Amino acid sequence: MARVKRALDGRDAHIWTLRFIILMLCGVIAFAMHGWSKAPERIMVDIPPDLRSGSTRRVGEREPYSVYAFALYIHQALNHWPVSGTDDYRRNIEQLSCYLTPEFKASLLRDVQQRANRSELKRARYMAEMPGRPYEAKRVWIESKESWIAFMDASIKETYEGTVIKDSFIRYPIRVVNWDVAPECNPFGLALDGYHEDPKRLEGSNLANDGLAAN
């Protein structure tokens, strides 16, 4: 009887040990599932344009080329007035407001009014990257971990009833900042924050009927 009792006691002890292990595993699984549910739904990793020599990137680290490409894309869209700046300029600002800081948006809306007062909106406008001035590393100045200055050389052409009234090359020093405010509206997590300094007209511009404003 003693031998049978010891065997039964050993079995019961083993069962309780297994139960304890199972409870611990359930706790570990629950903790892991909770952590997984709180993990970021998206991870931003910038890929450099040239991978011939390889690249190591940290999550959230911004590649200067991506900053420049973002600034060029949004700034071009702001300055695309296919019909007339009277309607197109303000509409562009509103449509792209997720990619603009509130301060820069307010500055652009003031620019709309100033241009209207000078009768500079009743024209079509097109912007493109200046020929022969593509991206290179020196075009992006890393101001901080959260902000950059993108120096973009652009070709601006404005027409009125098919007649070219402005054909200029202008350098825009555009400040770009991290802006992870509304991911559903702005998946890039960046925003234009205005000009680091006044835009500057470059050599080769046709200044006929151009006015005095560089931009």
pLDDT at 178 over 70: yes
pLDDT confidence band for 149 (50 / 70 / 90): very high
d(CA 130, CA 117): 29
Please state the pTM of the whole predicted model.
Answer: 0.73
Domain of 82 in residue numbering reads as 64-201
Domain for residue 179, yes or no? yes
pLDDT at 115 over 70: yes
Domain for residue 18, yes or no? no
Count up the domains in the chain and report the number. Answer: 1
Domain for residue 19, yes or no? no
Domain for residue 9, yes or no? no
* Best CA proximity match to 158, nearest among 102, 90, 205, 103: 205
Domain for residue 192, yes or no? yes
pLDDT score at 26: 86
CATH classification of the domain holding 87: 3.10.450.230
Domain for residue 12, yes or no? no
Find the mean pLDDT for residues 96-123. Answer: 95
pLDDT confidence band for 105 (50 / 70 / 90): very high
pLDDT score at 211: 37
Domain for residue 135, yes or no? yes
